[in-house]
Amino acid sequence: MVLKSFVEVHPDSHFPIENLPYGVFKPLQGGEPRPGVAIGDYVLDLSALSSAGLFDGPILSKSDCFLQPSLNKLLGMGRPAWKEARATLQKLLSFDNPTLRDNSSLRAKSLLPMDKVQMLLPTVIGDYTDFFSSLHHAKNCGTIFRGPENPIPPNWFHLPIAYHGRASSIVISGTDIIRPRGQGHPMGNSPPYFGPSQKLDFELEMAAVVGPGNELGKPIDVNEAADHIFGLVLMNDWSARDIQAWEYVPLGPFLGKSFGTTISPWIVTLDALEPFVCDAPKQEPHPLPYLVEKISKNYDISLEVQIKPAGLEHSSVLTRSNFNHLYWTVTQQLAHHTINGCNLRPGDIFGSGTISGPEPESLGCLLELTWNGQKPLVLDGVTRKFLEDGDEVIITGCCKGNGYNVGFGTCSGKILPATPL
């Protein structure tokens, strides 16, 4: 079936009718936060459609999930509700359906130009975990932090390694990031450094958004894990490498990461990503049975990171990578996360880990791209070892379909100077 909307969508747009990603927005002219989907250059207000009785399927007609200030309620309802919502929205937006197309007052109320809204965090994020699932990233970081003898720890091939991140400092794209202060690694015999981080970095990541959770003590089977994942967003796990290198032994990342993590506003659903499924890499050694999937899926999502220094008109590409470089799949990550009985809740997110590919141009952070500052990157008019104040980092992600995109929009943030003590 060829999908086409009555809303005009430019062929380069990330948001055609095939995508319909979910977010939460507030009209600039005032009003409460509410759920919406992106279509072309517009946001479709789901609270307006819901109030007009247009979600008329068996599950959603009885629900107030679109009258909420976050997507958590919809997420908790699970795949049958998501499928019903997608089918209803694709029908309402299609060029041959008159319901919304020919109702000018409802159209005026529900289709808002994107530049007339403010995007907010799409879910109330109770918990945030960050995995470490790119082999290339693990190898490079291991070599830099721990030396070339054994860069990849022996557990890495047996389980998707992760640490518990900080949900309170997750911010929406466009929020400024204040350079963190902290203790940095001592040089030689001197005491530890203290002050604004001198090795501020970005990390190119994506994050999965949890749908229905699990009861404490009841793990999720890896073959059912996809039903617990609503979709994916872009993520920048800002990292202060000097703070991280000094603090992380033996308990793992802490203040080097918890000063800010940026996510993109639009959650692209796994249903919209289905045409872009590709094979996951062969895993050797064979994982334990609880991590073995009947069908192991990766997604072909092109990713790009740009930097725009203060005062420059143009941005420069820092790196290009792809989500399909990940060794551990999102479903394996989720199954592993719950195998001890740990409960996930709707709206929780878990990051993929930095998505580095095998080529030097596909590395997912400056730590790797500049080899811990030893090989500065020379770009169009800029030289960088690490991020400087005023730098804006912009991540984009997009799947290329036959004549259309399923895109993620952007995930951006600008570095502000450390606040005086």
Binding residues for substrate: 132, 146, 244, 248, 354
Among 130, 242, 247, 348, indicate the residue that binds ligand LGMQ2O6W (CB under 6 A): 130
Contact call for residue 132 and ligand LGMQ2O6W (CB under 6 A): yes
Q: Which does 261 bind (CB under 5 to 8 A by kind): Ca ion, Mg ion, ligand LGMQ2O6W, none?
A: Mg ion
Cα distances (angstroms) measured from residue 414 to each of 198, 255, 392:
16, 19, 4
Among 203, 242, 293, 348, indicate the residue that binds ligand LGMQ2O6W (CB under 6 A): 203
By Cβ distance, which residue is nearest to ligand LGMQ2O6W? 353
CB atoms within 10 A of CB 176: 12
Task: Decide: helix, strand or coil at residue 377.
Answer: strand
By Cβ distance, which residue is nearest to Ca ion? 237
Contact call for residue 242 and Mg ion (CB under 5 A): no
CA pair distance 166, 5, nearest whole angstrom: 40
Left if phi > 0, otherwise alpha if psi is -120 to 50, otherwise beta: which for 122?
A: alpha
Binding residues for Mg(2+): 237, 257, 261
Among 73, 137, 179, 325, indicate the residue that binds ligand LGMQ2O6W (CB under 6 A): 137
CA pair distance 197, 11, nearest whole angstrom: 42
Catalytic, 137? Answer yes
Contact call for residue 391 and ligand LGMQ2O6W (CB under 6 A): no
CA pair distance 125, 102, nearest whole angstrom: 38
Among 237, 247, 293, 391, indicate the residue that binds Mg ion (CB under 5 A): 237
Contacts from 249-252 at CB under 8 Å and sequence distance 24+? 252/163
Q: Can you read off the two tokens belonging to residue 387?
A: 């991020």
Contact call for residue 392 and ligand LGMQ2O6W (CB under 6 A): no
Contact call for residue 84 and Ca ion (CB under 5 A): no
* Number of residues engaging ligand LGMQ2O6W in binding (CB under 6 A): 13
Shortest distance (Å) from residue 370 CB to Mg ion: 19
Contact call for residue 142 and ligand LGMQ2O6W (CB under 6 A): yes
HSE-CB of 371 using CA atoms within 13 angstroms = 7
CA pair distance 270, 146, nearest whole angstrom: 37
- The answer to whether the beta carbons of residues 230 and 270 sit under 8 Å apart is yes
Would you list the DSSP string of 139-157? HHHHHHHH-SSS-S-TTTT
Query: CA angle, 357 as apex, 386 and 382 as ends, to 5°?
Result: 30
In the set 14, 136, 137, 228, the catalytic residue is 137
Cis amide bond preceding 285, omega within 30: yes
Shortest distance (Å) from residue 388 CB to ligand LGMQ2O6W: 20
Interaction pattern, residues 212-251, with ligand LGMQ2O6W; x per rule: CB under 6 A = -------------------------x-x------------
Among 127, 130, 242, 348, indicate the residue that binds Ca ion (CB under 5 A): 130
Residue ranges binding Mg ion (CB under 5 A):
237-238, 257, 261
Residue ranges binding ligand LGMQ2O6W (CB under 6 A):
130, 132, 137, 141-142, 145, 203, 205, 237, 239, 253, 353-354
| Residues forming the active site | 137
